Amino acid sequence: MTVTGDDTRVEYRTCPLCEATCGLELHLRGREITLVRGDRDDVFSRGFLCPKGTALKHLEADPDRLRRPQVRRGDRWHEVSWDDAFAEVERGLTPIIEAHGRDAVAAYLGNPSVHHLAGPIYTRVLLQALGTRNVFSASTVDQMPKQVSVGLMFGTMLSVPIPDVDRTDHLLILGANPYASNGSLLTAPDLPGRLEALRARGGKLVVVDPRRSKTAEKADEHLFIRPGTDAHFLFAMVHTLFAERLVDLGDLAGHVEGIDEVERLASGFAPEAVAPLCGIDADAIRRAARELAAAPRAAVYARIGTCTQEFGTLASWLVDVLNVLTGNLDRPGGAMFTKPAAGSATTGGRGGVGRGVKFGRRHSRVRGIPEVYGEIPVVCLAEEIETPGEGQIRALITVAGNPVLSNPEAARLDRALASLDFMVSVDIYRNETTRHADVILPPEAELARAHYDLAFYQLSVRNISRYSPPLVDLEPGELPEWQTLLRLAAIVSGQGAGADIGALDDFVVSGLVDRAVQREGSNVEGRDATELLKELASRQGPERVLDLMLRTGPYGDGFGADPEGLSLEVLEAAPHGIDLGPLEPRIPDVLRTPSGKIELAPEPIVADVDRLRESLSRTVNGQVVLVGRRDLRSNNSWMHNLEILVKGKERCTLHVHPDDADRFGLETGGTARVSSRTGAVDVIVEVTDAIMPGVVSIPHGWGHDVDGMQLSVASGRPGVNSNLLADTTLFDPLSGNAVLNGIPVELAPV
Ligand code: SF4
């Protein structure tokens, strides 16, 4: 920390507002942020900052942000003490659990719940205490197909190969727009700069997308693709590799099972067979495959557009099939596995083999849709609330989620939430979702809590570790979120709102220490758990858990076993982070499949290929389909209450190709009615050839035009909720992920 003449102090902190995890330089006067800059000494981001990072100052100061617990009585909200708020939660939840069982209380975890340290640790404690089958999260509107495909291929749900952008010669991107998103399931500050460096050193960037996004504009080549056909396109590339004898596993030979099966499956997907559906001609597909195979170092990376579609898991799988078949998986410049410092299932115990993953151990009550990683897909949430009978959801706990904006059939879900007997939300805002809550429990200010990106450092393009301590004290009336989550856990487990939170936290940590000393191959295997607990005793809450994870992680000090190793104390002395080096080959150690091999043709995926093959007979008949789009100044619905980010030109518009504008009588600045089976929205039109004919686009996360919120800025720039048009009957059967791209719609002028 540096203190300047006017009492301004300079501190460093990781930005929590997207997956890029940039280092920030914050100028603080008391609790007030006076300036935000990129931290030029940050080991990972080197001074990069996007407009959202600057807005942290405005988020902290936002007068609409909730700072004290709120209780709703009828339509009126009342600020109450924490004791009164938890007593209200206990009065609401306990009788429901007693009368109807634990499944009557559902939990929904939103995306921001993994953007800070306490969330991933203590929501797990809450879910264990709750013991409900009805766990939902934003993962099944976002990324579950990738988690399913990598789980089946490599053994854990976060074994995601990361394109080694800084060393590759050729990068093929599908369904992602890192110039707007800054990367997703790929943690890489200044990803646009890294892509420009790739091109500057003579590499090639190819983008496949139904829109000419900013990333596509900057690429060497852009191929427009019809939404929902990425798996067809990728399979045709695989077909080409086999047909032209371009398959070369390189160092992976001996580590791969199922290659013959993949060749057999690909045989039905010749480029000519998929071209009419994809809208990409066969020669272009063959060329894409040849160039990928010929590049000295290449990687395929795909994201949201390939996940939120009916063949999401197949598309996600084929991305890594291509990385394997071209020998690019696990080699520098290819697609590699991060070796995270803390919390990874790929670094614990003995490597190279594991239990793998299992799905469908139970099914949703109403439609019988299988669970994935313990979650019921969000396409089931509304019906599980609406449908009477044993196991009906009667109460809901949300943590940092706004499913009314982010989930399909939003209007129906909105009505369903209004019908609940009780709802409690942990959230910073009274928004479209939390307005239905009976109690809202706000977390402490961002600067008052410790930060470490447990999730995103598992997906980063370099191995790094970076900790941000709390920079300000809690204000009177603030409660750390980890304590809120533990108190909720105490209530739902029957210990009651007055339980000893310190004792509960001790119990959590001692369970984790016990597991660490019992884990075969751990750097503390066989040690005395009491001794380890003593060494951790100076800390509490998430910092204590983080210290344990770091010290027992792959770079950890092992509680003295390696005095040079990592601990939280070491990170505290490194405010700009610690660079643990470039990604390095990790196969076979990274694998956790039962076979100890890369499973190139896992049985559930093989079984789903028939569905893809059947879709080849579909024809494109003039139907218009809807896709989403991302904006640099927006992250889902999070940041629409900050004037600095929403001001200027209207961004929630309908992008429509000139041919379709003519066909449907639409013009720029006019209004179009976009309707689907589930709803309709009236939205301002922007005619552009940056979108392919037959496809229209509306960004998601908007629609702030409902009553009962406390979002004064967002309410003034509402936009429309594109998820009114998304349909809960459309989902990827393997992952349960909602289809948000490729929704059939009708267009008409208003
Ligand atoms: S790119 Fe993401 S992490 Fe970096 S400053 Fe912007 S919002 Fe923050």
Give residue 337 CA to ligand 1 midpoint distance, Å: 22
Whether the CB of 372 sits within 6 Å of ligand 1: no
Residue 575's SS3 state is coil
CA of 15 to the centre of ligand 1 (A): 6
For residue 632 and ligand 1, the question of a CB distance below 6 A is answered with no
Residue showing tokens 């950890």: 556
User: Helix, strand or coil for residue 660?
Assistant: helix
Query: Is the CB of residue 205 below 6 angstroms from any atom belonging to ligand 1?
Result: no
Q: Where are the alpha helices (DSSP H) in 474-520?
A: 481-492, 501-518
Q: Would the CB of 445 count as within 6 Å of ligand 1?
A: no
Query: Which of the listed residues 13, 22, 111 should we mutate to test ligand 1's pocket, taking the one with most ligand atoms within 8 A of CB?
Result: 22
Taking the CA of residue 38 as reference, the ligand 1 atom at the shortest distance is: 5
The DSSP 8-state label assigned to residue 444 in this structure reads: P
Burial of 606 (0-12, 13-18, 19+ CB in 10 A): middle
What pLDDT score was predicted for residue 6? 74
Please, which residues have CB within 8 angstroms of residue 341's CB and are 6 or more apart in sequence? 457, 463, 464, 465, 550, 553, 554, 555, 556, 566, 580
Measured CA distances, 5 to 8, 9, 222 (Å) = 7, 9, 52
N-term to C-term CA, the chain: 57
Residue type, 186: L
Ligand 1 pocket, residue 22 CB under 6 Å: yes
Q: Are 223 and 288 within 8 A, CB to CB? A: yes
User: Which of the residues in the chain have pLDDT under 70?
Assistant: 1-5
Per 3-state DSSP, the chain is made up of helix, strand and coil in percentages (nearest 5) of 35, 15, 45
Q: How many CB atoms lie within 10 A of CB 664?
A: 17
What digits encode the pLDDT tens for the residues 335-355?
999 999 999 999 987 889 999
Q: How far is CA 402 from CA 112, 397, 520, in A?
A: 10, 12, 40
**CA of 690: how far to CAs of 173, 215, 441, 720, in Å?**
17, 12, 43, 21
CA distance 226 to 277: 7
What are the beta bridge partners of residue 187? 460
Rounded to 5 degrees, φ, ψ at 412 are -65, -40
Q: How far is the CA of 99 from the centre of ligand 1 (A)?
A: 46
Distance CA 539, CA 556 (A): 17
CB 82 within 8 A of CB 442: no
> Beta 422-426 vs 395-399: how paired, if at all?
parallel
Q: How far is residue 354's CA from residue 596's CA, in Å, rounded to a whole number?
A: 7
- What is the position in ligand 1's atom list of the atom closest to the CA of 18? 2
pLDDT score recorded for residue 350: 81
> Taking each helix axis from N to C terminus, what angle separates 312-325 and 230-243, rounded to the nearest 10 degrees?
30
Using DSSP's 3-state secondary structure scheme, residue 407 falls into coil
Q: 655 and 696 in contact (C-beta within 8 Å)?
A: yes
CA–CA–CA angle 329, 616, 317 (5° rounding): 20
pLDDT score of 5: 62
Alpha-carbon separation of residue 178 from 15, 61, 721 (angstroms): 17, 28, 23
Ligand 1 pocket test, candidate residues 39, 52, 456, 642, most atoms within 8 A of CB: 52
Which residue matches tokens 């001996």?
254
Q: Give CA–CA dist 554/560, Å, rounded.
A: 14
Instruction: Say what the pLDDT of residue 4 is.
Output: 66
Protein residue whose Cα sits closest to atom 6 of ligand 1: 50
Q: Which of 13, 18, 179 to mutate to test the pocket of ligand 1 (most atoms within 8 A of CB)?
A: 18
How many helices (H) and strands (E) would you count in the chain? 26, 27
Cβ 182 under 6 angstroms from ligand 1: yes
Query: 15: Cβ below 6 Å to ligand 1?
Result: yes
pLDDT at 1: 66
Pocket lining: 50 vs ligand 1, CB cutoff 6 Å: yes
SS3 call for 127: helix
- CA of residue 21 to ligand 1 center, whole Å: 6
Instruction: State residue 338's pLDDT score.
Output: 98
Where do runs of H (alpha helix) occur along 65-190?
82-100, 118-130, 144-154, 178-181
Cα(649) to centroid(ligand 1), Å: 22
* Residue nearest to ligand 1 atom 8, measured at CA: 53
The gap from C-alpha 381 to its chain's centroid, in whole angstroms, comes to 19
DSSP state of 729: T
Cα separation of 485 and 127, whole Å? 10
- Burial zone of 718 (CB within 10 Å; 0-12 exposed, 13-18 middle, 19+ buried): middle
Tokens of 733: 């059967």
